[in-house]
Amino acid sequence: MQDDKFYIYHQLSSALIQVDKNLFESLRQSDIAQIETDTIEQLRKMALICDTSVEESDLIVAMNKKARYANQAVRMTIMPTMNCNFNCWYCYESHEKKVMTQENIATTIAFAKNIIEQQRPRQFIIDWFGGEPLMCFKKHVYTISKEIKKACEQNGISFKNIITTNGYYITPDMITLFNEIELNTFQITLDGAKEFHNKTRFMEKDRNSYDRICRNIELLCAGIKRPSLTLRLNYTKENISTIDDIIETFPKEIRPLITISMQVVWQQKHEMEKEIKLICQKEKLFKAAGYIIKDSFCAHTHSALSCYAENMQQYVINYDMNVYKCTARDFNDKRFSIGHISADGVFIPTPLYYKYYATPSAFENEICLKCELLPSCKSACIQKRIEGMQVACRKEFIESNVKNKVHTLVNRLR
């Protein structure tokens, strides 16, 4: 109940409706006999009521298994280089000044074509990562994308091309080629407003990357066909007060094309969890100014997977053809490799690959399966579970997330 109004929220479907007091009490007491048939059917369609003989935890596990082992979307994260023009203080990567060789470019294309022609997935996703992938755009990103896109078209398979980039090297000529290879989904990061960002992301020859990156974001919004642009705002206890200064950086007409995703720098994750309300306030300011807000603290959208690494049709391919399951890795440590790709484009697995197949999802334990917050959680990391690391329960944090989610949805109904 809020403001003398009654609401029902279902975590698994993220459905929320406003109801009168009588219906609310009938549902709370499971007194279905007092509810009209049409209303019951409508509630059933919204997944707000269900068969009591079905265990919701079984449904969640079943959805997870299907998404892990029968996923019709192949996701290939490609890292053409580990090198980067920036040296952010929180970055875990080694920034090796090496790039994918011509032979390995051909191997990557062959691997993708083998999957496309032999498995015939519903969708093939290329996810460019690094390092900074646009440091080797024409020879690597463009060439590989063009060939894989062509193979998808020839086999009637949906193609999606996305990239995580710092945005520094984007040019008008590059945007023309982006459109050719349907590279229209971007994640670009700012580290706080201009003053803090430039203390984190800079080069010796350019101490003001903020202005250049923001100009390039405007170029993308103007030049990309059907753009999907996520602006990740990394916040810390030092820069959080400046985050809303970013609002006026971009013209009002392009703000509806920019999705804001506020993310804490991982070294301060536990310190900043208590700042949920502050983050929600910041997000509301961006939304009021015309930006799109991505679900974060304030809203959790159910997913069958806790992470893309659970999808057994997902590969992280390093420039040297070693394959991993997650980008948050030390790629110099080959113990974490799940395999490599042979010269003829065949994936050769290591024993660790089968661990990802055989290991239950991290939430498949007695405590999690009985928890009333399971549909909104499942955030434990399967990689950590496989590697024997303890994953702390964050029940209070998840509960606070759910409350903020409901509050956000209620405000949308008003």
DSSP string of 84-103, one letter each residue: -S---TT------S-B--HH
Q: Is the pLDDT of residue 294 over 80?
A: no
pLDDT tens per residue across span 53-82: 888 899 899 999 999 999 999 999 999 999
| Domain presence at residue 301 | yes
| Domain identity same for 233 and 345 | yes
| Domain identity same for 261 and 112 | yes
Which residue among 353, 370, 400 closes a domain?
353
Q: What integer pLDDT is reported at residue 270 of this predicted model?
A: 64
Neighbouring C-alpha atoms within 13 Å toward the C-beta of 11: 19
Q: Are 375 and 302 in contact (CB under 8 A)?
A: yes
Spatial neighbors of 227 by CB under 8 A, at least 6 apart, are 184, 185, 186, 220, 221, 257
In three-state secondary structure terms, 170 is coil
| Domain identity same for 49 and 73 | no
Sheet arrangement for strand 339-341: 292-293, 258-264, 228-235, 183-190, 158-164, 123-128, 73-78, 314-317, 322-324, 339-341, 347-349
Residue 124 sits in a domain of what CATH number?
3.20.20.70
Q: How many whole angstroms separate alpha carbon 360 and alpha carbon 377?
A: 16
Which residue among 337, 353, 369 closes a domain?
353
| Domain identity same for 12 and 77 | no
Q: Mean pLDDT across the chain, nearest whole number?
A: 90
Q: What integer pLDDT is reported at residue 2 of this predicted model?
A: 63
Q: In 10 A of CB 41, how many CB atoms?
A: 11
| Domain identity same for 187 and 332 | yes
| Domain identity same for 30 and 97 | no
Q: How many whole angstroms separate alpha carbon 58 and alpha carbon 61?
A: 5
Q: What integer pLDDT is reported at residue 380 of this predicted model?
A: 72
Q: Are 312 and 69 in contact (CB under 8 A)?
A: yes
Domains identified in the chain, total number: 2
Q: Is the pLDDT of residue 298 over 90?
A: no
| Domain presence at residue 26 | yes
| Domain identity same for 298 and 223 | yes
* Helices within 249-394 (DSSP H only): 269-272, 276-288, 351-358, 366-370, 382-386
Q: What integer pLDDT is reported at residue 297 of this predicted model?
A: 46
Q: Are 48 and 24 in contact (CB under 8 A)?
A: no
Q: How many whole angstroms separate alpha carbon 260 and alpha carbon 26?
A: 40
H-run or E-run covering 247: none
Domain ranges, residue 232:
69-353
Q: What integer pLDDT is reported at residue 1 of this predicted model?
A: 59
pLDDT tens per residue across span 199-210: 999 998 999 999
- Percent of the chain at pLDDT exceeding 70: 94
Q: In 10 A of CB 185, how many CB atoms?
A: 19
pTM: 0.90
| Domain presence at residue 381 | no
